[in-house]
Structure 1
Amino acid sequence: MKSSVPTASRFYYGWIVVFVAFLALLVTAGIRSMSSILMVPFETEFGWDRSSISGVISVGIFLYGLVGPFSAALLAKFGIRRMMVISLAVLAASLVLTPQMTSLWQYQLLWGIVSGLATGMMANVLGVTVASRWFVKRRGLVVGMLTASAATGQLLFLPILARITVHEGWRHAAYVSAAVALALLVVVAVFMRNHPYDVGAAAYGESTPTKPEPFRGSIFLMPLLTLRDAMKSGTFWLLAGTFFFCGFSTNGLIGTHLIAACGDHGIQEVTAAGLLAFMGIFDLVGTTMSGWFTDRFDARKLLFWYYGLRGLSLLFLPYAFDATPAMLVVFSVFYGLDWIATVPPTVKLAAQTFGKERAAMVFGWVVVFHQIGASTAAYGAGLVRQWTGTYTSIFVTAGFICLLAALMALRIAKQAAAARA
């Protein structure tokens, strides 16, 4: 029986698939983060207030998450490559149209709805689907790598797009992003494959190629039935609850509002984008390491430490703004190391509880709660800033809810122990 694990003379094609998925997640995350750069220019050019702009971003974040469980069904039904190509084409079209907009409703349509749905097709569920199909061994590491690509997207895109926005205008930044999305579309069309069986291989760590089972059922009904079954489990609600707080404290709050908060303290936009990119460097390391740790250690205890340390870093942030610039760098390192390190252990717990076949779809619903939390923070933080003139109270609130999430993570272990009893 021939092993699918690569030898010195045989390269496993799954690593090419991982690389293409990494690029796709990197680019779409970078484009999604562009909304934080556009907040201040839109206030200046169009006269839209902070809460209105935050509301659009909030809708986009919510739809980005809501499409997750349905994207798992679409990927299973129509294939990874086809859905990625369609999503990238839609995203590029919305970027090309963005410079033509003049009204808030157009911004809502292009960035709240179209961009939210298109990028949601290529979010965490895509990474989980690729890892589940192509890898048995090293699956946690692959999930960590693909999750970390979102941070790498910020690392590469934010400073570049911020500089283009400052020196050439935000419209040029939108056109550059569209060109990158179209170039990626070609890469996906040429190199992406749907399943190891397509190249005559087995999943990494297995010995025999297995033909994938065709998707059965409705692409809309199946995710809802999966949700109905998952909701009967206490573990699902604990995972969903902790991920709500995860989204609230990451892309909804820091990802959306840190650049604007830096502006309140006299820090220029390009410098603030550099801080987010700096976080991206450390999250790339932290989330990849999290995948490695998840293959070896108790996922529940990992979540406890990740949420706890994140909570402490957010409680430190208001002090960092009032102290020296070096303190913001310290925050960027400390916070960045576990920006999205929570994903690999959460995926592992979903797979252990609900099975490999349903893991991507269940995790998709957990991500919905993540994005509801992010959406709440994106809009709520804008309102708090408008009412109080500062972000301090919302940063402190986020810190305490992360500490609560850490305690909930320990409760997942108690729930699982009770289920086994």
Structure 2
Amino acid sequence: MNSIEQIINEEIRVVENGSITTPAGFFAGGLHCGIKRKKLDLGWLYSVVPATAACVYTTNQFQAPPLIVTKEGIEKSQKIQGVIVNSGIANACTGNQGLSNAYEMRKLFAEQMNIQEYLVAVSSTGVIGEQLPMEKIKSGISEIGDIQRQNDPSEFEKAILTTDTFSKHVCVQLQIDGKTVTIGGTAKGSGMIHPNMATMLGFITTDAVVKEADLQIALKQVVDKTFNMITVDGDTSTNDMVLLLANQQANHQELSILHPQWQLFMEGLEMVCRSLAKQIAKDGEGATKLIEVQVQGASSCEDAKKVAKSIIGSNLVKTAVFGEDPNWGRIIAAIGYSGAQLNPEHLKVRLGPFTVIEKGLPFPFSEAEAKHYLQQNEVIQIFADLYCGGGKATAWGCDLTYDYVKINASYRT
């Protein structure tokens, strides 16, 4: 578990060094097939039985062929048994040839694993507008042999990365009907990150037994509170999704919204997704600090989300944090244009431990101490209380640095 995650339920145990293959019946690995010059660029995930599948996709209208293929498979049976992922090339805006290549990836992996084609999910990430080198991918897939002997989730985590600076993973365990249930997850994402999915891929596995329709409901609800509450640069990408697989190996009674421990399962799933979301935000391209915005007292949770997203998405706020400048005026401006209902005369804002606005007016604080807070902490917290109701929300992002420009100015070179 990343150090920025907090345990909120004593019934949920963090599995140190856990991964997406800690849940029973899952195997994963990665290899270098030649899309990238040296780094791992082809990853695979496999369940010993077809797993109940739920998925949430990018809202970008230019959805890449891998998403189309994956959607089609899940809609056919609500099951997925294998996942094949490449990094380096996104296979987006590639027309009929790109779609054909995505189907070919699915077919090749299905044949290698001896499973039905529709049970394979396909995912790609990287440069937009380039065709996949299918001979290299075909060769790479052919190297996948004994899945149990080749099992190495850390290689899967590395194979899905693009501009990320570190792998992202988390794993928790809880008890359902007296049985141990494990939820593991990994994700990639560093730039082109914005709420409503982003340039990120998330893969979550669990050995829980979950009703199909309720698994999709659970994922959608949790994604709205976690992955859809992060931003790095305001760009929403073409390829991104969160895929949740439940393969029923824990052998407890079927979970549904009517099960007495449904909420415990939801809290475990949310803990995994929240940790991954925060790790992505922390790893924003060129970032030096994670920013967490907590909003309360909004007229509704939707209004609270608007305010939190507005603050975390403000380039002026992000650059002020990078410059270690306690310029609260930028926070006020972002709240004001958020579109949320508010009364400026009631607003309270804190930057870390320092109240900077009280009842809508400047509140005396030490600029030097506030600057020291920004200098000495890797996690910067901003609190806003609107005093309009009971709505609350939390969002995560990062500072905007010189290195962000350098990374993205030379992304293809």
Same fold, TM exceeding 0.5?
no
Higher-Rg member (1/2): 2
Ranked by relative contact order (alpha carbons within 8 Å, sequence separation 6 or more), the top structure is 1
Bigger fraction of residues in helix:
1
- Scaled to the shorter chain, the TM-score interval is under 0.3
TM-score calculated relative to the size of structure 2: 0.25
TM-score, normalised to structure 1's length?
A: 0.24
